[in-house]
Amino acid sequence: MAIVSVSNSFLTFNSPNQLRFNRRRGVSAMASSATGVRVAEGQGNLPKLILTSPQNSEAEIYLFGGCITSWKVASGKDLLFVRPDAVFNKIKPISGGIPHCFPQFGPGQIQQHGFGRNMDWSVLDSENSDGNAAVTLELKDGPYSRAMWDFGFQALFKVIVGADSLSTELKITNTDNKAFSFTTALHTYFRASSAEASVRGLKGCKTLNKDPDPKNPIEGKEDRDEVTFPGFLDCVYLDAPNELLLDNGLGDKIIIKNTNWSDAVLWNPHTQMEACYRDFVCVENAKLGDVKLEPGQSWTATQLLSIS
């Protein structure tokens, strides 16, 4: 196991096989690590991690936002999507991939989707898990988060790249001496042909349709076996099952399994994002009912994406 720490843009790896990042030299490759995890310079000179499986599946994760921006399966296809208007300047969150919504899905008291996707996560650990590259990122409260949400917390996000799978585990711990509540989501942008894409598994779920007014969603019940994206769609599915099937309309069927992500959200902005709405759909694993944690308590949820 190799421990990696980040402080003020300074990455230090205690394994000689790892890569090193420092202010003077930027990101420099020392060698490919035995774990299949390396550091590279991403867009906007932001550091990113590249995880490679022995079968050549690959994921990229930006430390800014702890955001997985790319998941290439062994065939070389990237199943995630980053919007063309995404910026990599830390002024806005990265629009695409798998951004974190934490500690609020929104809308609500603080900025839409919370601050987890606007902060630098650090690398706590990198390892080889049964032959697969794995990293654990950490986010803790700081002055930026405290100004919006005055609680001590730790978020750990473990990512493992398998042959044709991408698995994540999010663990939120209350490190404060008072209780807090949060909502959260993995706001996954999948590459897709939105006109051909569909999601199976949601039939029977209670729905909260955020169209036309996100603050006053309309309650309903999903009665379709296959939900499609014919136009603008912004809909919450409560108590969704722990397995969904996304047909991305591009020839891929993606199984989305989870534990503890009790809800799901489907979103496509349609002509509100004329430049790209045809090229992606969001299928989000979410926890939309308040999770209350007493001091020292934790909440954990897992997501497993794989191709069928």
Ligand X SMILES: O=P(O)(O)OC[C@H]1O[C@@H](O)[C@H](O)[C@@H](O)[C@@H]1O
**Between 44 and 214, CB nearer to ligand X:** 214
Half-sphere exposure of 206 (CA within 13 A, CB side): 8
DSSP 97: S
**β-bridge mates for residue 235, sequence order:** 209, 266
Longest dimension (CA), the chain: 58
Q: Judged by CB under 6 A, which of 210, 228, 264, 301 binds ligand X?
A: 210
Least gap, CB of 213 to ligand X (angstroms): 11
**Nearest alpha-carbon partner for 193 in 281, 284, 72, 307:** 281
| Helix (DSSP H) and strand (DSSP E) numbers for the chain | 1, 25
Q: Name the closest residue to ligand X (Cβ).
A: 267
Q: Judged by CB under 6 A, which of 44, 214, 217, 241 binds ligand X?
A: 214
**Interface of this chain with ligand X, residues 144 to 183, rule: CB under 6 A:** none
**Interface of this chain with ligand X, residues 232 to 291, rule: CB under 6 A:** 234, 265, 267, 284
Alpha-carbon gap, residue 106 to 215, rounded angstroms: 9
Q: Is 134 in the site for ligand X (CB under 6 A)?
A: no
Active-site residue identified among 58, 127, 187, 222: 187
**Between 210 and 257, CB nearer to ligand X:** 210
Alpha-carbon gap, residue 151 to 46, rounded angstroms: 27
Q: Is 219 labeled as catalytic in the residue annotation?
A: no
Least gap, CB of 222 to ligand X (angstroms): 16
**Between 38 and 100, CB nearer to ligand X:** 100
3-state helix, strand, coil in the chain (%, to 5): 5, 50, 45
**Interface of this chain with ligand X, residues 67 to 126, rule: CB under 6 A:** 95, 113
Q: Judged by CB under 6 A, which of 38, 100, 187, 287 binds ligand X?
A: 187
Least gap, CB of 126 to ligand X (angstroms): 27
Least gap, CB of 113 to ligand X (angstroms): 5
Least gap, CB of 234 to ligand X (angstroms): 5
**Between 7 and 272, CB nearer to ligand X:** 272
- Answer for the pair 5, 123: CB distance below 8 angstroms, yes or no: yes
User: What is the secondary structure of 154-203 as a DSSP string?
Assistant: EEEEEEEE-SSEEEEEEEEEE-SSS-EEEEEEE--EEE--TTT-EEES-T
Tokens at 55, concatenated? 């079968």
Alpha-carbon gap, residue 304 to 104, rounded angstroms: 22
**Between 13 and 88, CB nearer to ligand X:** 88
Least gap, CB of 101 to ligand X (angstroms): 7
- Answer for the pair 111, 99: CB distance below 8 angstroms, yes or no: no
Residue numbers at the binding site for ligand X (CB under 6 A): 95, 113, 187, 210, 214, 234, 265, 267, 284
Catalytic positions, written as ranges: 187, 284
